[in-house]
Structure formats: C-alpha cells, structure tokens
Amino acid sequence: MSGEPIRILLIEDDWGDAELLQELLRERGESEFSITWVQWLHTGLEQLQGAEFDLVLLDLFLPDSQGPETIVRLGEQAAHLPIVILSGFTDENIAMQALQNGAQDYIVKGEVDSQVVVRALRYAIERKQAQLALQRSEERFSLAARAANDGLWDWDLAAGSVYYSQRWKEMLGYREEEIGTAITEWFDRVHPQDLKALKALLKSHRDGETIEHEHRIRHRHGHYLWMLCRGLIVCDSHGELKRVVGSLTDITRRRLAEDQLKYDALHDVLTGLPNRVFFAEQLEETMRSTGQDNLAVLFLDLDRFKVINDSLGHIVGDQLLSEVAIRLKSCLRPRDMLARFGGDEFVLLLRELNNVQEAVAVAEQLQDLLARPFELSGHRLFTSASIGIAFADARHQEPKDLIRDADTAMYHAKADGKARCAIFDPDHYDLAVARWQLETDLRHALELNELVPYYQPLVSVESEEIVGVEALLRWR
C-alpha cells in the first residue's frame, strides 16, 4: 500500500464519535487515509461486496447488531480484513472477547490521540497480513506434502526392529550407516516433554487407525526440529498390535511461524513486553492457583508523557517508552510480571509478597529508576510516574477487579501531585464513581439547557461605580 491511501470502512452509528475519529485521522494528513463511513452493519456488509478496503473500524454496539456477534457476522464476509474495535467500554472481558473473535485491536473511545489510533491501525494491518501469509503458506505446505520426499519408517513389533528410510536419517543430519534399526534410535532423540505422548500414540491398539503427532526430535548438531509423524496401526487377526508404518515431515518452519504469531498476539510490538491480554490471562491464572494471598497489582502511568510526545514527536516518544520498559524490567524479581497496558501505562504483577511494605518498596524503586534522566536523540528528558497499588483480597473475583482498583489508586496518586504512589482504598472507588456520575449528570444538564449563566456586578466601595462583573453558572 506504499503511496496509496489506507482504505478504511468505518462502521459507527454515533455521528459525534465518527466525526471525532475522522478528525483524528485527518490530523495525520488528508492523503493518508480514505474513509467510508456507514452507520449500520448491514450497510457495511453491502459496502464490502462492492468495494475494496484495507481495514474495518467497527463499533461493537450498532442498531442492527450487538456485542461479539457483530465481529462474527463481519468476519464471515471479510475474513481477509483486519478489524479494529471502537468501544466506549473499558471492560476487559469485552476486549478479550473481541480479540478472541478475530479483532486485531481494541480502542476505547475518547482515550486515544491521533498517533495512538494510526499506530493501532497500521499494526492491525501488519498482523493480519502476517496471519494471511501464514495461512497461505500452510495451505501450500499441505498440498506439497502429498508429493514431498518425507522420511519413512516401519516399526515391526514382532521382529523388534524399525526400518528408517535414507531421507528419515538425512533429515536429522545422519548418513545411512550411522543409524541402526532399534526403536531407541528414534525415541532417544525425541524431546523429553514429547516422548510420553508419542509412545502412547504409537502403541494404540485400534487396527487401521491413522495417527498424527507433532513432536520435537534432536538433530545431529544438537538443535531440535519439529516433526509431524503420520502413521497407520496394523493389528493381527487377534487384535494384537503387529506393526506401525508411517512418515516423518519436517514442520519446523511452520511451528516457528505459529509460535511467532502467538508471541505477537500476546506482546506489545514497541517494547516487547506482554500486552494487556497476556497480563490478564496470567493474573487470572495466578488468582486461580494461589488465591488472593500475597498478591498485588501496580498500575503505572507516566507523568507529562503527552507533553514530550507532542513537542518532540512520536519517534522520541516511542524511544522513551522503550527505555522506560527496559528500566522497569531491571528491577523485577523472577516471579513478577511487567506488561504494557497501552499508551504510556504499564502494569506489574507482584507475586509472593511478604507484606505491604514490600510492594511499596518496589514502587519506590521504580520511581527512583525513572527519576534519572533519559538521553534520547540528542535530548535530555525527565519523566516520572504515578503509581497505584492494589492488594488482592476476597472482593476481587476477577482480574479486571484488581486492575480497576490499581488504576483507581493511580489516578488518586496523580491527583495528589504526580510522581507519587497510592494504595487503593475502597473510598477511592466511591469517589471515582461519584465523579463519573457528576460528569454524566453535567453532560445531560448541558443537553437539557439546565445550566444558566448569571452576572453579578462588582461595585467599588469608594466610587460606588460598577468596575466589573462576576460570572456564575447555576444548575437549575
């Protein structure tokens, strides 16, 4: 798509949100994006039949479709296109459902600027292209395997010997005479973690059954190759296992590509840290296995990052985020986990804490690390972080509850003057809810014209003349 505008299908029923998003994209240049906006899912599906697009920006909650089913319906017709979700909800469950249903990213409305949006769109396109490339590669591989010169083997259990073809031996780096006929020639080279399952499968007692198994096998030079073992079980007239014959196919490249895709889906592209999805999975597993004892989440938000990003550009901003990640990782204990939550936010999972002071000490150490200047692209930069700490207890039934409380504590720390840390208190949550309710009520008040301006004169005591006015806004 070099030189060509990115063709975006925007499916969003809210005029204000659609206009705001288009304005954010226009900030990056008129010629960089070509946007087609529709307000209904069925209209979007019609557009996909008659026009070509590079990406779909999708609101999950539309007049004619609600929630995850929206992604499923869209994916049935546009499986080749990356889908980025637009949502007014910060619910982690909704975000994870969207990603599991095929979305490439999840953007919360009102919490991003043009740089973050554009970066998310580009990354989504790149990831989808990589997935499609892998899918096409796997299809070609499947067709080619029919005529491939795979390694053949024939295990005669009665004779206690195995025939290994020359190709079988060559795949592992050996000459014909260097491998004998014992089954141990195979089993001794299988990765210890894969051996038990392979043995069990090869000794199955169902005549005529075709088996398949993927396992690692050690090459002559010491590294492991991924192999696909296909075989046919042959039994005698009494149903006793007689022989197993089959082939061995080298699938190392495919497995490495799959592993890379899995890694990319769970890690942040910029910093290499686990992303919010991976963090939530690990937190859920930890809470399930160890309960709420000796567990805490730290939510870290960089202070003044937007100022640095806006004044020095996103390249320097990205460099700063990468350097911050390196510093944060340097003070982690082996049992802890650090993730980039999004934007300039990071989260830490602290396991096996002995006391509250230990978590506070980690937060203070992070503050000290960030207090040192950053030398980036000829600039000497200073930053700090506001850190919220939430300790797991019986109130936290799900990972999102603990993350929410740490986030709330972080905002409390930022309100106290930034470069601070705060431990979550239930009162923080009540205040946050009250503040949110007040903001919501004010929005409704504006829509209903319930705010009325009043002007009161300011009179000089000496001259008894009006020298000014005081403006008041009253809520009827």
Distance CA 409, CA 315 (A): 30
* pLDDT, tens digit, 9 for 90 and up, residues 97-130: 877 777 778 878 766 666 777 777 777 777 777 7
The strand pairing partners of 473, in sequence order, are: 453
The one-letter code for the residue type at 60 is L
Nearest Cα residue to 35 out of 99, 20, 139: 20
Distance CA 358, CA 438 (A): 36
Do 57 and 120 touch, CB atoms closer than 8 A? no
Distance CA 271, CA 346 (A): 11
Distance CA 158, CA 127 (A): 51
Nearest Cα residue to 407 out of 290, 329, 300: 300
Predicted pLDDT of residue 298: 96
Q: What are the backbone dihedrals phi and psi of residue 6, each rounded to the nearest 5 degrees, phi first?
A: -75, 120
Per-residue pLDDT at 441 exceeds 50: yes
| Domains defined for the chain, CATH in brackets | 6-144 (3.40.50.2300), 148-255 (3.30.450.20), 270-424 (3.30.70.270), 438-476 (no CATH)
Per-residue pLDDT at 429 exceeds 70: no
Per-residue pLDDT at 297 exceeds 90: yes
- Measured over the CA atoms of residue 409, residue 415, residue 419 and residue 420, the dihedral's sign is negative
Distance CA 75, CA 78 (A): 5
The strand pairing partners of 131, in sequence order, are: none
Predicted pLDDT of residue 146: 46
Report the share of the chain in percent with pLDDT over 90.
Answer: 38
Contacts of 74 (CB under 8 A, 6+ apart): 11, 41, 44, 45, 56, 58, 83
What's the full length of the chain, in residues?
Answer: 476
Q: How confident is the model at residue 141 (pLDDT cuts 50, 70, 90)?
A: very low
Strand 224-235 and strand 374-376: the pairing is: unpaired
Predicted pLDDT of residue 162: 93
- Model confidence, pTM: 0.52
The one-letter code for the residue type at 471 is A
Predicted pLDDT of residue 29: 65
Distance CA 68, CA 99 (A): 10
The one-letter code for the residue type at 105 is D
Where is pLDDT greater, at 367 or 100?
Answer: 367
* pLDDT, tens digit, 9 for 90 and up, residues 164-206: 988 899 999 999 999 999 999 999 999 999 999 988 887 766 6
Pick the range with the lowest mean pLDDT from 60-69, 133-142, 290-299.
133-142
Token representation of residue 223: 């590294």
Distance CA 219, CA 230 (A): 19
Tokens 């600027």 — which residue? Answer: 113
